[in-house]
């Protein structure tokens, strides 16, 4: 089987990966895949925007590499010429990249991980420059302790989002998912499948006082993040999500910049939540839409 870093034509499509020296195939315990594109309808090329002297994507990559249990980071991008801007950053940051289908994101995701033979796969998105390596690591350890198939962060500041699932669960989703929305949204089939054991990783009660937005979706989000990075320049405050929240709490004018974006994003995201709650895929042969999910 081809190594993820070797250019090849895969069976899924004419997918391409970052080049690397030849070597024996390896097995990775936990592979982190960063889902990235430049065609956001709300804020095009947002992941190339500068924050604190480097691109948003570069911050995400560096924080992903800091997760102790992650053995490999792969940036999964659409197979389009425009994605070369993304792979150039991945090369500079010394992480792998993979080009696959622009619309069948589940296929792209599966292609990015299949040669790694990963036991577990972590999914993060490229618009979260304050991703917490500590939150991701703690959730992974809880996943190992409980033996679940799928884990996801919940009730953390928006921008610390992370999902982890077994390599076997990804394999099942790739083979069983047939609906267009399941191919577009990587974990939708897993969320709706009641046969998979799941874990919700939440912070301690009262740990965060407000409904924070640390993700980059709208121009106001970028205004907030730019000011936050500028105000904390020369400190290590942003390395800890609790200290970041305390800093934001102490500056209400900062927190209020993108507060209204939460409601707008919630409306746009409600459709995906409805898809999960209105379906029940109890096994690989089940047809979605038969009942509510767990």
- What CA–CA distance (Å, rounded) separates 195 from 36? 29
State residue 275's pLDDT score.
59
State residue 18's pLDDT score.
63
State residue 263's pLDDT score.
78
The domain ranges of the chain are: 27-206+262-277
Q: Where are the beta strands (DSSP E) in the chain?
A: 16-17, 30-35, 50-51, 54-55, 72-78, 96-100, 120-125, 150-153, 163-166, 198-201
Topology of the domain comprising 27-206+262-277 = Spore Coat Polysaccharide Biosynthesis Protein SpsA; Chain A (3.90.550)
Lowest mean pLDDT among 94-103, 152-161, 257-266, 281-290: 281-290
Each residue of 73-127: pLDDT tens digit?
999 999 999 999 999 999 999 999 999 999 999 999 999 998 777 899 999 999 9
Each residue of 180-226: pLDDT tens digit?
999 999 999 999 999 999 999 999 998 998 889 999 999 999 999 99
**Cβ of 244: how many Cβ atoms within 10 Å?**
22
- What CA–CA distance (Å, rounded) separates 123 from 167? 12
Residue 168, CA distances (Å) to 172, 180, 260, 292, 294 in order: 6, 21, 39, 23, 20
**Residues whose CB is less than 8 angstroms from the CB of residue 266 and which lie 6 or more positions away in sequence, other chains included:** none
Each residue of 126-148: pLDDT tens digit?
999 999 999 999 999 999 999 99
Q: pTM of the prediction?
A: 0.85
* pLDDT higher at 52 or 15: 52
Residue in 135, 167, 162 with CA at minimum distance from that of residue 151: 162
- What CA–CA distance (Å, rounded) separates 14 from 11? 8
């Amino acid at each position: 089987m081809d190594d993820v870093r070797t250019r090849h034509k895969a069976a899924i499509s004419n997918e391409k990966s970052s080049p690397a020296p030849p070597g024996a195939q390896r097995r990775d315990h936990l592979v982190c895949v960063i889902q990235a594109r430049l065609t956001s309808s709300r804020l095009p090329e947002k992941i190339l925007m500068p924050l604190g002297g480097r691109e948003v994507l570069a911050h995400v990559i560096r924080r992903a590499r800091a997760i102790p249990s992650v053995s490999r980071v792969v940036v999964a991008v659409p197979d389009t010429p425009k994605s070369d801007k993304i792979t150039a950053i991945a090369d500079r940051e010394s992480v792998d990249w993979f080009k696959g289908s622009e619309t069948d994101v589940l296929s792209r995701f599966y292609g990015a991980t299949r040669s790694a033979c990963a036991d577990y796969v972590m999914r993060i998105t490229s618009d979260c420059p304050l991703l917490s390596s500590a939150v991701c690591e703690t959730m992974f350890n809880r996943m190992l302790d409980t033996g679940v198939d799928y884990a996801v962060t919940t009730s953390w500041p928006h921008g610390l989002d992370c999902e982890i699932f077994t390599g076997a669960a990804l394999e099942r989703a790739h083979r069983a998912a047939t609906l267009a929305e399941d191919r577009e949204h990587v974990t939708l089939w897993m969320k709706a499948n009641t046969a998979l054991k799941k874990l919700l990783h939440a912070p301690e009660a009262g740990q965060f006082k407000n409904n924070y937005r640390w993700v980059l979706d709208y121009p106001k989000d970028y205004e907030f993040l730019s000011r936050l990075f500028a105000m904390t320049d020369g400190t290590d405050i942003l390395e800890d999500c609790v200290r970041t929240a305390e800093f934001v709490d102490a500056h209400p004018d900062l927190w209020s910049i993108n507060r209204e974006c939460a409601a707008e994003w919630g409306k746009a995201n409600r459709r995906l939540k409805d898809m999960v709650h209105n379906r029940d895929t109890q096994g690989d042969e089940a047809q979605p839409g038969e009942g509510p999910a767990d």
